[in-house]
Structure formats: C-alpha cells, structure tokens
Amino acid sequence: MRSNVSEYEFIAPGSLDAVLALLSAEPGAWTPMAGGTELMVALGAGRLEQRKLVSLWGIGELRGITASADWLTIGAGATYTDIRENAAIAKEFPLLARSASWTGAIANQNRGTLGGNIVNASPAADSPPVLLVYEAEIELVSAQGARRMNYSEFHLGYKRTVLRPQELVMAVHLPRGHRLPVEYLRKVGTRNAMAISKVALAGVGAMQSGKVQTVRIAAASLRETPARLSMTEAVLVGHALTSDRIQAARKALLQEVKPIDDVRSTAKYRAHVAANLLEEFLNQMAASES
C-alpha cells in the first residue's frame, strides 16, 4: 500500500438521491466509486489523486437488469457477474455475456460494474465494443434530471467523456428484437485470462442475396477511445464479400485505426491483428448464407 488511507475521505450515503445531492452540492469534489476495481488499484500504487470518494456500492436503483418490450435495461451498478448470470442477456445479447466473462478474475467480476467500465473510459475496456455494435443507449442522471443518448456519443477523447461532474451513469439500454444472424467477438490479450486487451474486435451483421445488408464493427485498443469502425462498415455495406472487397475493408480499417506502442504491444501488431480479426469476421459473414 503506497497510499496513506488516513488522507482519504470515503463516504457511503446509501441512496441514489443522497449521492446525486452531494455531487450537485460540490461538483467535481467527489469521485463516485462503485466496485472499486480500478480506483483501489490506483490507491494501492500510490497514484489515486482523488481524495474524496463516494460509494455507489449497494444502491439498489443502480443495479437491476430489467426488460421492457423494446429495451433491455442494465443498471450501471450491475456487476460482470450479474451480466454473466442474466438469462435475457445470454439469449439476446450473448456477446455482452462473453465480454463480461473475460474481464479480470472472478473476484473482479463480483465487484466490477458495467457503469465503472464505461466511466473509467479505458480504450482497452472489454464491454464498450460490444455495447457499440449492439447500438446501446446510455442514460445519465443528476439531481437536475436525466438525459439519454447513443452510447457512441459518450466518449470524447482519451479518458474524456460527456459525463458532467454532478452526473452518474444510471443505466445502459439495449434495443431488443434487432438481433443479427452473425455475431463475432474476439479479444487478443496478453494471455488467455486476467489480461488487458492488446486488441479486441466486435462485429454483428447480416447478408442478403450474397451482399452485406447490415454490418456494425467496433474495436478496443485501436484508438484513443472505444470506437465504431464506420469507414470500414461503409466499404462493406451493399457489397459481396469477394477477396478484393475484404482487402478493401482491411485497408479501410487500417486507415481509421490509430493504435499505439505501449508496454503491452506494438502499434503495428495491433493494426495487423485487427485486420486479421476483421477478415475472420467477414469470412463468417460470407459463410452465413450458405
């Protein structure tokens, strides 16, 4: 432990209203903490700059997973374990259950939350690519009210989001009844478990009469934020998946990603492997109609 915990303040008001009131009263002073799987690591390493922490753990309004006719709503406080064990997610949004199973260890999955994964805004996070291809919406809440937007508009830049200091992520909404026949998700980490992704690619799509009718592709660790690869999608929609078309898609991907060299991998490797994963996904697409 490289921090002196006596220098930190940690409170647990216990209800959503009380937390939101606190955030509004002193905007920016308090950092919300749900499972703590990110912040506690920073605390242990002596690099947690935020000294005032407010707990979201145990606030029931944030944690439920509920279904309406059109939406499956996952509370921001739902843990990876909650997501892995939910029958509706397993049936209708299986990529999300899979990505949740890849995050950390069982202990991390019991504490870590979907909202935390999103707000932490790591470009390498496991959940966001899946939320992007499922066209999720995100609901933000403050004492002043709520707002809802496409999740694709949430991330602004490296570790920057639209979230205001007095706001919390309330829930993620997934549109029901639009499941596409081909779903793809692959994470390339530094090892098979307990790993941060070097590159990850999620894809969903449908073919019609030998051509790409719909396709959505998103990636982790390829840009400064989790990212939809819309240029690549545009190259594909309406076209047959010939080898030339697949090569064109690879090129488009390489143009729109901006990977970096870091302690886990190299930019070249990330870009090349992402293109390989794209090709693997497109081969699945091509085979889906036969």
Contact 80, 103 (CB under 8 A): yes
Residue closer to another protein, measured from CB, 45 or 237 = 45
Distances in Å between the Cα of 17 and the Cα atoms of 23, 25, 62, 169, 170 are 10, 12, 11, 13, 12
Output the smallest distance, CB 104 to another protein, in A.
10
- Minimum separation from the CB atom of position 100 to another protein (A): 16
What's the min distance (Å) between Cβ of 77 and another protein?
24
H or E segment to which residue 66 belongs: strand 65-67
Phi, psi of 236 (to 5 degrees): -95, -35
Nearer to another protein by Cβ, of 87 and 263: the residue is 263
Sheet order of strands, 52-55 included: 9-11, 52-55, 31-33
| CB-nearer residue toward another protein: 214 or 276 | 276
The residue among 25 and 45 lying less far from another protein, judged by its C-beta, is 45
Minimal distance in Å, beta carbon 3 to another protein?
Answer: 7
Least Cβ distance, residue 1 to another protein (angstroms): 7
Q: Give 19 or 199: the residue with its C-beta nearer to another protein.
A: 199
Residues that bind another protein (CB under 8 A): 1-6, 44-46, 188, 190-196, 263-266, 268-269, 272-273, 276-277, 279-280
| Strand, helix or coil for residue 261 | coil
Closest CA relative to residue 191, chosen from 265, 267, 243: 265
